[in-house]
Amino acid sequence: MNLSYWEYDTWFKGIDYTIVGSGIVGLSCALELRRKFPNAKVLIIEKGILPQGASTKNAGFACFGSISEVLDDLRTHTPEEVAELVRKRWEGIQLLRATVGDRAMDFQQLGGHELFLKKDHELYWECEGALERINSLLKPVFGRPAFTKNPNSFGFRGIEASVITNELEGQIHTGKMMNALLAKAQASGVFLLNATEVLDFEESDRGVRVSVRGMDLTTKKLLVATNGFAGRWMEDVSPARAQVLVTKPIPGLKIKGTFHLDRGYYYFRNTGDRILLGGGRNLDFKGEETEEFGLTEKIQDQLQTLLEEVILPGIPFEVDRRWSGIMGTGPLKKPIVIKRSDRVAFGVRLGGMGIAIGSSVGKELAGLV
């Protein structure tokens, strides 16, 4: 690429901080850098036309972990580590709300509910029996008992008569949230290059040379915020594709809130008078460990079956749109926020909790440099 003097002088000269990825983490990092260093030149490089990955493709859950997920985490983490994971999610949501504003992202605190299929009777009894213990563990985080047992009043079929609810959970409009973050970043003077893929980077005496398609650029510091796409540069990060669909409007829909099913491998919510449903990665873990966007018949058929038999039994509906997003997972739930060197840092592997922890991870990433 042959840059003109004007192009080089405006966008590529004297870059202090370059951020790879314009998702929640990257934009939050950029805003924090502008707050700390108002005269610094901050550039974000994004390979998609819109933020690629999961930030604009998720289900819009402002959640902290269903009770079965908390119990699963206790099998591989200490109680103190689990409480800290939930605390980071809770505080991250509050930071996002303070940054964007509830109205700007259509935040609604309608509560989150975990459902248990009849075949998962033992899991239900395990969760019900752990209510007091989990509430005691997490009370320092929420300041009140988090989980309560409530009757299934939503008309779902084939599930236990009771659901376990966290009234503090909510939902957001993901597109509006990202649009607000983008507007704030650009208004603060952050430069953004879309449809530009970072191929590699290398440190030198002058800074970090970043190779993109068609050219190289030099930056003093490089911050990688590509979540599930970071595996090429970082160990213990694996991509995890999530498939999602949304129905057309359903007249008289009474379902409100966010819902977790089958240990969180399925999740659904209302968005206005539509139902948005995602999940099914557990049907093919290996196949869904990919950086490729796409849909599979096996998972889409199961999502359709859940709608017909469990979520909307006897209620006519049509699917309006289907899509997929790429999360970042690994052997531990804790995100990776580290300095690789004095010039390069990473904030990746959000484990499907990008909405909850993306803002705080971005702020922490900015703090490393």
Amino acid 205: pLDDT: 85
Q: How far apart are the first and last CA of the chain?
A: 30
Same domain, 248 and 316: yes
What per-residue confidence (pLDDT) applies to 52?
85
Domain range for 126 is: 109-168+238-329
Cα gap 340→96, rounded to integer Å: 27
| C-alpha span between 133 and 170 (Å, rounded) | 23
Domain co-membership, 164 together with 15: no
Please list the residues that pair with 45 across neighbouring strands. 20, 193
Task: With respect to residue 2, please indicate whether it lies within any of the assigned structural domains.
Answer: no
Domain count, the chain: 2
**Is 159 part of a structural domain of the chain?**
yes
Please check whether residues 19 and 145 belong to one and the same domain: no
Residue 356 belongs to domain with CATH number: 3.50.50.60
Write the CB contacts of 326 (distance below 8 Å, at least 6 apart in sequence): 52, 53, 54, 57, 227, 228, 229, 239, 240, 241, 242, 290, 291, 293
pLDDT, residue 211, reads 96
> Does residue 94 belong to any structural domain of this protein?
no
134 assigned to some structural domain: yes
Q: Do residues 249 and 160 both lie within one domain?
A: yes
Position 285 scores a pLDDT of 96
b/e 182-208 (16+ beta carbons within 10 angstroms → b): bebbeeeebbbbeebebeebeeeeebb
Residue 104 lies in a domain: no
User: Same domain, yes or no, for 197 and 307?
Assistant: no
pTM of the model: 0.95
Give the pLDDT of the chain (369 residues) as one tens digit per residue: 789 999 999 999 999 999 999 999 999 999 999 999 999 999 999 999 999 889 999 999 999 999 999 999 999 899 999 999 999 999 999 999 999 999 999 999 999 999 999 999 999 999 999 999 999 999 999 999 999 999 999 999 999 999 999 999 999 999 999 999 999 999 999 999 999 999 999 998 889 999 998 899 999 999 999 999 999 999 999 999 999 999 999 999 999 999 999 988 999 999 999 999 999 999 999 999 999 999 999 999 999 999 999 999 999 999 999 999 999 999 888 999 999 999 999 999 999 999 999 999 999 999 999
The verdict on 298 and 318 lying in the same domain is yes
Largest Cα–Cα distance of the chain, in whole Å?
A: 69
Report the CATH number that the domain containing residue 125 is assigned in CATH: 3.30.9.10
Answer yes or no: do 219 and 321 share one domain: no
